[in-house]
Every structure is written in structure tokens, then in C-alpha cells.
């Protein structure tokens, strides 16, 4: 016999309930000020919602999620219509839902396990379509799939036939009108142990003693989480190289962004080493004072026993002794420690950087672009390809662009390679700073939306348009310098200063390597022309 806690004398199945059901309404506990009619309407709306999706409604006991009836008999005897009639006459009775076949839900076993549930749901990579605030997140699944063995500690899977307290549903947590709208989850295919072919056997090799099999936990512990260090153009735990033409502000950006990282707590100052191998005495003193104030280290060739020729060996030694984790090494410039035109030497240097970063270190190196651009006018990194191939991220810094509206110079970091984070950014610095301190503090990130408003328009994208404009103007015949500047600026729709920069940068400076050249004529006038055709 089906026994239901109800005070009704005319239960829809024709039997009188034995015990009066006290007032209780699932999750609708805050009923102060609500009329019984409104509370009853909320309850029935919730029941109709779940039954409309394809779940079965069932009476529950006063406590927990145990049914107040024989569940098997109830599900056979009561259609959705009959169940609705019952609950409309007993609307204050606690009601549960029965999970239908082909549906699975996941919920936290307690409030302390919400993070475990959130992480697990994210790992499913399936969009939740039904996720009640105080109930499971539901998905479709194949009939018979068992999920209980796959959920982490603190997470419970509710499967077909399970009875749970019907969660109160809110419209903003529903994107399904039926079970068919739920995302389908597929159990991962069981691993199949490959069977060796007849005659196969294990072979002892000298490589077996070097294998790191079974040491995944050690590598995970040693690895550094990839996160921004110098803005988004150098990430913690990676090897990064910035290529740039002379006087583009690469050292300035490196130091300014380092100061911001130290002040922001991204890195410990005492773990930062700036190798100043490309500066004069005044520049060394200037930057040394700034880094001393921040608590970071400075290394200078010939001072304190540091020699650039030994730097590669020192990286190797740090990796060997596991003294890399959290250490940041910044090198200005790489060519002082490795000949980038020598493939063997560059390869050894890059391999040392790789071993250093594998042990948790971070490397940022500065390098120069070639004097002459590519055939399309684009800047080209100097040296062999070994360094760019072995590093995690490579950025090309454009020559500074002048912003007439702000009195700043703007440099864009163009990504040539990135692995696991990093985005292209643009930075600005004051064009008329009175001291290096002022220059350093003037560095700021430029909002991409503001680039056009700052007056960089076409030239902030690349130099090819200006380069092509110079060629086109000179194809019309030789021209004096300033008329050529005006003609190029007008043709490329850029400032005269941008046109002048390209004309001077890619012209012949006496070594016969430029794309155009000039001759000095009467009264010192410089007349530019293209080289004769072959």
C-alpha cells in the first residue's frame, strides 16, 4: 500500500493518508509576508516545471530525501497529471524529483566542496543548461553510464532513479525547455592496454637510466605558473626575447615594467638580476641607483667577477643546482654574451636558457634588428633562427612613433611567437623627459582603443606602407630631401616625421646596403634616388 503523509481525505488514488503533513515548502523557507495562496502557487509552479522537463515528482518525508511513499508503486500508479492533482491538494507537502533515465546531475556534498564541484564542472567542457542554485547541474548522458567513480571527493553524481529534494528554480538558471536541450556528456573511453606482438620483449638501453618516468609530480612542483611579469610581453617562467632597432626604448621598457612588477608583488626584488652589458659609465650608474633603490641586482661585465663569456655556463650551473625557481634574469643585450651570427654558439646559449626556464627560472633578453629590412620593409631580427626557435616568446618592437596630441613616443610590441600567454601591447613614454627618472615614470600602457586618437593611425600598424610610398615617389625621379618627405607623408597618409624616419632608416649610409641613396649637390642639398636597375 502507498502511504502518504497528508491530511486530505480524498487523496487522488482513493486512500486516506494516515498522518497529517505539517507546513513545509522545500527551499521556499522565507515566506514571511506571503499569503498561503502565493506560497501554494510557488510550490505548484516548481512542481510543474520539473515535470514539464521530464522529471517525476514524488512526496518526501519530513527530513532528508527519502520518499514518503513506495517509490516503485508511486511511479507506476501516478501519471504526471495524477501527481499534479495530488500536489495541488497537498501543496505544502515536501516534494522531490526522480532523475529520469539518460540524465545525470552533479552537486557538492557540502558548502566546503563548492570549489571542487566548480573545477569538476569546468573540466567537463560542456555548457550547463540547467543549474539550480541549491541543486545539481544537470546534463544528458548515455543510458547506463556510471559517473560515480569519476567524480572527485566532495562531489556527488545523481543518476537515473535517484530521488532528490526538488530544487527551487530561478529563470536565470534555466536554458532548457526539455531534457533534450541538455548538453550530452560522454564517458571517456576506457584505456586499452596494448598487447605486445608475438616475439616482442623489453630491451635494456642506456637511455632507461636517464628516463624521468614517474616524476611528473616533481616537474609539476618545480614548474612556475605562467603569469604576466613585464606587462603581457614577458611571462613568468618563460624565455622571452625582444628585438628592436636602436633607440626604441627597449631597455627603458624592461626597467619600467620590472619596477611595476616589484611594486605590485609579482616578483621578489632580490630574485631579479639585470645584466647591463650595453651601457656607458653614466648609464650604468644611473640604472644601478634605480635598481638598488628597488632592491634588485645589477651585473656589469668586468665587475664582481662577472664575465659575459661565462654567462652560458652560469645558466647551466643554476639549472644543475636547482637554483632557478622564481629567479628572473634580464640581459641587455644578448650579443654581449653570445654571437648571434654563430649558429653553434647561439644554439648552446638558447639551450641553456631552456634548461634554466625548465627549472622555474625566467629569462628576458634584448637583441637588435638588422639594419636593413625585409623586401617588404618589415623589421627583421638579427642572427640565426636558433634563438627564436628555442624561446617561448619573441616580440618585435617598432621604431617609436610620435604622438603630437600627448607629446609622447609610442612603441608597439608585435608578437612573432608566443607560447602559453602573452599578448601584443603598445607602450608610451615622454618625448621631453628632463631626467631618466622622469622618463622611467612616464612609461605607460596604451589602450588599443586610444591608438588612433593618439595620432598613430597607419604608421602604428607597420612600416611597409611608408616604405612603398618612398619607392613610388622615387620612381618618379630623384627628389631633394624635404620635398621627398612631404610627398611620402602625403602618399602614405602619415606624419612628416614618420616619413623622415623611414627615409633615413632604410637609406644608404655609405655602405652600399640601402634601398635608396642620396648625393650632395649645390649648397649641400641632398638629392635622393633609387639605385640603377640591374
What is the C-alpha to C-alpha distance for residues 75 and 96, in angstroms, rounded to an integer? Answer: 12
| Positions of the chain with pLDDT lower than 50, given as ranges | 1-25, 27-31, 454-461
At residue 533, the pLDDT reads: 67
What is the C-alpha to C-alpha distance for residues 141 and 186, in angstroms, rounded to an integer? Answer: 6
Read off φ and ψ for residue 178, nearest 5 degrees. -160, 170
The label of the residue with cell 516545471 reads: 49
Q: Please write down the HEC assignment for all residues of 334-401.
A: HHHCCCCCCHHHHHHHHHHHHHHHHCCCEEEEEEEECCCCCCCCCCCECCCCHHHHHCCEEEEECCCE
At residue 13, the pLDDT reads: 34
Read off φ and ψ for residue 320, nearest 5 degrees. -65, -35
- Torsion angle (degrees, nearest 10) of CA 17, 19, 23, 28: -70
CA distances (Å), origin 254, targets 105, 365, 440, 516:
50, 9, 10, 34
Reading the block at residue 6, the C-alpha cell is 497528508
- The pLDDT tens digits for 1-25 are 343 443 333 333 333 333 333 334 4
Reading the block at residue 155, the C-alpha cell is 562531489
The label of the residue with cell 645589477 reads: 298
Tell me how many degrees the CA angle 442-445-448 measures, rounded to the nearest 5. Answer: 140
What is the C-alpha to C-alpha distance for residues 313 and 55, in angstroms, rounded to an integer? Answer: 68
At residue 511, the pLDDT reads: 60
- 8 Å CB contact between 25 and 31: yes
Beta partners for 425? 413
CA distances (Å), origin 511, targets 254, 372, 515, 530, 531:
32, 11, 11, 15, 13
DSSP string, 78-96: --HHHHHHHHHHSTTS-EE
Tell me how many degrees the CA angle 106-111-116 measures, rounded to the nearest 5. Answer: 50
Side-chain-side CA neighbours of residue 326 (13 Å): 9
Instruction: Map residue 527 onto helix, strand or coil.
Output: strand
- 8 Å CB contact between 270 and 297: yes
Rg (CA), the chain: 36
At residue 458, the pLDDT reads: 36
What is the C-alpha to C-alpha distance for residues 340 and 343, in angstroms, rounded to an integer? Answer: 7
CA 107, chain centre distance (Å): 28
At residue 239, the pLDDT reads: 93
The label of the residue with cell 622611467 reads: 440
Q: Please write down the HEC assignment for all residues of 121-190.
A: HHHHCCCCCECCCCCCEEEEECCCCCCCCCCCCCEEEECCCCEEECCCCCHHHECCCCHHHCCEECCCCC
Neighbour-count burial of 409, counting CB atoms closer than 10 A to its CB (0-12 exposed, 13-18 middle, 19+ buried): buried
CA distances (Å), origin 238, targets 58, 202, 311, 328, 361:
57, 37, 18, 10, 7
- The pLDDT tens digits for 235-265 are 999 999 999 888 888 999 999 999 989 988 9
Spatial neighbors of 74 by CB under 8 A, at least 6 apart, are 2, 58, 59, 67
Spatial neighbors of 241 by CB under 8 A, at least 6 apart, are 334, 364, 365, 366, 367, 387, 388, 391, 393, 394, 395
Helices 496-505 and 481-492 cross at an angle (nearest 10°) of 120
Overall pTM > 0.85: no
What is the C-alpha to C-alpha distance for residues 103 and 261, in angstroms, rounded to an integer? Answer: 48
3-state helix, strand, coil in the chain (%, to 5): 35, 20, 45
Amino acid at each position: 500500500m502507498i502511504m502518504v503523509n497528508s491530511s486530505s481525505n480524498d487523496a487522488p488514488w482513493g486512500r486516506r493518508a494516515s498522518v497529517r503533513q505539517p507546513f513545509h515548502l522545500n527551499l521556499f523557507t522565507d515566506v514571511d509576508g506571503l499569503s498561503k495562496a502565493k506560497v501554494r502557487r510557488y510550490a505548484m509552479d516548481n512542481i510543474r516545471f520539473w515535470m514539464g522537463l521530464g522529471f517525476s515528482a514524488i512526496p518526501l518525508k519530513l527530513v532528508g530525501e527519502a520518499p514518503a511513499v513506495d517509490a516503485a508503486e508511486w511511479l507506476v500508479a501516478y501519471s504526471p497529471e495524477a501527481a499534479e492533482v495530488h500536489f495541488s491538494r497537498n501543496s505544502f507537502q515536501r516534494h522531490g524529483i526522480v532523475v529520469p533515465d539518460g540524465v545525470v546531475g552533479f552537486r557538492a556534498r557540502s558548502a566546503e566542496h563548492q570549489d571542487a564541484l566548480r573545477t569538476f564542472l569546468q573540466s567537463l567542457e560542456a555548457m550547463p543548461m540547467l543549474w539550480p542554485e541549491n541543486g545539481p547541474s544537470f546534463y544528458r548522458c548515455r543510458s547506463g553510464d556510471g559517473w560515480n567513480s569519476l567524480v572527485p571527493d566532495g562531489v556527488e553524481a545523481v543518476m537515473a532513479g535517484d530521488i532528490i529534494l526538488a530544487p527551487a528554480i530561478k529563470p536565470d538558471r534555466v536554458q532548457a525547455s526539455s531534457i533534450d536541450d541538455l548538453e550530452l556528456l560522454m564517458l571517456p573511453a576506457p584505456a586499452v592496454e596494448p598487447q605486445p606482438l608475438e616475439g616482442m620483449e623489453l630491451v635494456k638501453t642506456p637511455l632507461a637510466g636517464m628516463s624521468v618516468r614517474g616524476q611528473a609530480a616533481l616537474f609539476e612542483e618545480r614548474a612556475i605558473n605562467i603569469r604576466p611579469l613585464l606587462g603581457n610581453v614577458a611571462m613568468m617562467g618563460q624565455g622571452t626575447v625582444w628585438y628592436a632597432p636602436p633607440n626604441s626604448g627597449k631597455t627603458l621598457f624592461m626597467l619600467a615594467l620590472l619596477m611595476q612588477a616589484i611594486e605590485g608583488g609579482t616578483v621578489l626584488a632580490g630574485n631579479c638580476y639585470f645584466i647591463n652589458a650595453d651601457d656607458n659609465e653614466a648609464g650604468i650608474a644611473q640604472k644601478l641607483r634605480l635598481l638598488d633603490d628597488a632592491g634588485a641586482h645589477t651585473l656589469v661585465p668586468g665587475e664582481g667577477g662577472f664575465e659575459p663569456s661565462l654567462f652560458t655556463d652560469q645558466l647551466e650551473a643554476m639549472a644543475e643546482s636547482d637554483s632557478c625557481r622564481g629567479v628572473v634574469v634580464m640581459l641587455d643585450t644578448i650579443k654581449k654574451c653570445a654571437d648571434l651570427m654563430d649558429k653553434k654558439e647561439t644554439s648552446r646559449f638558447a639551450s641553456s636558457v631552456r634548461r634554466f626556464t625548465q627549472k622555474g627560472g625566467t629569462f628576458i633578453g634584448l637583441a637588435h634588428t638588422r639594419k636593413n629590412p625585409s623586401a617588404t620593409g618589415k623589421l627583421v631580427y638579427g642572427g640565426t633562427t636558433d634563438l627564436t626557435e628555442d624561446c617561448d616568446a619573441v616580440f618585435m618592437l617598432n621604431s617609436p612613433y610620435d604622438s603630437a596630441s600627448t607629446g609622447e613616443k609610442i612603441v608597439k610590441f608585435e608578437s612573432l611567437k608566443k607560447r602559453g600567454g602573452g599578448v601584443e601591447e603598445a607602450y608610451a613614454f615622454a618625448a621631453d623627459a628632463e631626467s631618466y627618472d622622469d622618463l622611467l615614470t612616464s612609461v605607460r600602457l596604451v589602450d588599443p582603443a586610444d591608438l588612433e586618437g593618439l595620432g598613430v593611425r597607419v604608421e602604428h600598424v607597420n612600416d611597409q606602407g611608408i616604405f612603398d610610398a618612398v619607392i613610388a615617389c622615387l620612381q618618379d625621379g630623384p627628389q631633394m630631401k624635404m620635398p621627398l618627405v612631404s610627398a611620402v607623408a602625403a602618399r602614405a597618409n602619415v606624419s612628416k616625421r614618420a616619413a623622415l624616419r623611414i627615409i633615413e632608416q632604410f637609406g644608404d649610409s655609405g655602405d652600399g646596403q640601402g634601398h635608396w641613396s642620396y648625393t650632395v649637390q649645390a649648397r649641400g642639398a641632398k638629392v635622393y634616388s633609387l639605385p640603377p636597375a640591374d
